[in-house]
A and B are shown apart, each in its own frame.
Chain A
Amino acid sequence: MARRLVPGVALLLGLGLVARGISTIVPAANYLIVTILLGLVVGNTYGVPDWAQAGVATHKQWLEAGIVVMGASVAIDRVVAAGPTLVLLVLATVTITIIVVELLARFVFDINEETGSLLAAGSGICGVSAVVAIAESIDVDETRIAYAAATVLLFDAAMVFVYPLVGHALDLSSTVFGVWAGLTMFSTGPVTAAGFAFSDTAGEWSVLVKLTRNATIGLAAIAYAVYYARRGRAAGVEGHGLGYLWERFPKFILGFLGTMLVANLGLLSAGQVTSLANASDWAFLLAFAGLGMGIQLDELRSTGYRPVLTVLIGLVLVATTMLFVVRALF
């Protein structure tokens, strides 16, 4: 197994190290953004060689492992203090985004109802993972899944570069930027990259908020299953109980909470917390090189203009509104 993984992981590491070298020479170029760009260029010119496929595919595990060890850097008192506000903000943003995108899809752009639901879930909760989870719960055909996933990926690819630029242009504080990115961007990888590209504090807040958002995926999947079953458009909601919620729950969040607890109980020295923060940075470096390689520009061209406009208008409305709210609260 290790022999199969090592070449691809070495390729991810090589890209990350080159990106770090570039950002040392050009300090304005953030190394995380450069890593994604390098991955994107290599993935779309040479493609991912066969010998590297298995290793490159581990980028999701690196992202999640990086988030798990990042928990050591997060102060639990800060989380507890902001907790109720964050949970309310997350629930409000997820609900508003889903409603806005559903309404735009159905009544403005006349998009198929199920495709609209996939776009709404992808925009509101956690990107492609939400598209796939909701697709399974409402039994959608694969063409619509691919269509919605490509649209979400297009925005993921653009937002990872645009969000930090907007944040700096508006002179947002790290906390405001992190919470705002965590609330309104789509997939976990780009949220983490944009957050840490802005600052370490922004990165921690963005991941914290995004993990809270990801935790709502099971509830959203059940809500959609109930809705479509009532309309006779899904298999039903049998078995959609606690077991189903657990199955859908992103378990690496438990690892993040566990590490946060261990560090905040004083079981790690300051030096050890720094080592874990460094481990997290290395894991993110591998994850973002793979994230860039996974962005296939050919596939993104297959998205139609109506889904793109639906998600774009929904994003602008929700992101603008939430920016005002977050700035008022933090």
Chain B
Amino acid sequence: MSLASPLTDRDGVPSGVAASVVDWWTSLESDWQAVCLGALLVVLVRLGLPIPW
């Protein structure tokens, strides 16, 4: 038995907003997924997230 979280129900199935985000993400073609991932990284770094090597 899995526990519910803010993003999933008790069975681990995405619920509400999380499900919409997953649906939107999987509907994107691979190139756009890469663009979104890159843009997210740029925003996070701009907001102060350091990424070490």
Interface pair B35/A69, CB less than 8 Å apart? no
Whether A276 sits at the interface, judged by CB under 8 Å, is yes
Verify B41–A276 contact, CB threshold 8 A.
yes
- Chain B CB count within 10 A is highest, among A60, A61, A268, for A61
B1-52 interface with A by 8 A CB criterion: 12, 14, 22, 25-26, 29-35, 37-39, 41-42, 45-46, 49-52
Whether A68 touches B34, Cβ cut-off 8 Å, given contacts A1-B26, A3-B12, A278-B51, is: yes
Known interface pairs A1-B14, A272-B46; A68-B25 also in contact (CB < 8 Å): no
CB neighbours (8 Å) of B46 from chain A are 267-268, 272
Q: Mark A50-72, 1 if CB is under 8 A from B, else 0.
A: 00000000001101110111011
Known: A259-B42, A278-B52, A279-B45. A64 touches B26 (CB 8 A): no
A1 vs B32: C-alpha distance when bound (angstroms): 18
Taking a contact as CB atoms under 8 Å apart, the answer to whether B51 and A65 are in contact is no
How far is A255 from B42 in the complex, measured between Cα atoms in Å?
Answer: 11
CA distance A281 to B29 in the complex (A): 23
Central interface residue in A71, A256, A271, A275, by most chain B CB within 10 Å = A275
Stretch in A90-98, A191-199, A230-238, A246-254 with 4+ CB within 8 Å of B: A246-254
B49 touches A255 (CB 8 A): no
Question: Bound complex: CA of A60 vs CA of B30, how far in Å?
Answer: 8
Q: How many A-B residue pairs have CB under 8 A?
A: 78
Number of interface residues of B (CB under 8 A): 24
Is A161 interfacial (CB 8 A cutoff)? no
* Cβ-defined contact, B53 with A268, below 8 A: no
Instruction: Check B35–A254 contact: CB distance below 8 A.
Output: yes
Q: How far is the CA of A275 from the CA of B25 in the complex (A)?
A: 25
Q: Judge whether A262 is part of the interface by a CB distance below 8 angstroms.
A: yes
Instruction: For B35, list chain A residues within 8 Å (CB).
Output: 64, 68, 251-252, 254-255, 258
From known contacts A65-B41, A272-B46, infer whether A1 and B34 are also in contact, taking CB-CB under 8 Å. Answer: no
Instruction: Find chain B residues with CB under 8 A from A68 CB.
Output: 34-35, 37-39
Instruction: Specify which of B26, B30, B51 is in contact with A276 (CB 8 Å cutoff).
Output: B51
Given contacts A1-B14, A281-B53, contact A69 B31 (CB under 8 A): no
Using a CB–CB cutoff of 8 Å, the interface residues on chain B facing chain A are 12, 14, 22, 25-26, 29-35, 37-39, 41-42, 45-46, 49-53
A-B contact pairs, 18 of them (CB 8 A): A63-B34, A64-B31, A64-B34, A68-B35, A68-B37, A68-B39, A252-B34, A252-B35, A252-B38, A255-B34, A256-B38, A262-B42, A272-B45, A276-B41, A276-B42, A278-B51, A281-B53, A282-B51
Q: What 5 A-B pairs are tightest by C-beta distance, nearest first?
A: A68-B38, A64-B34, A255-B35, A251-B31, A65-B37
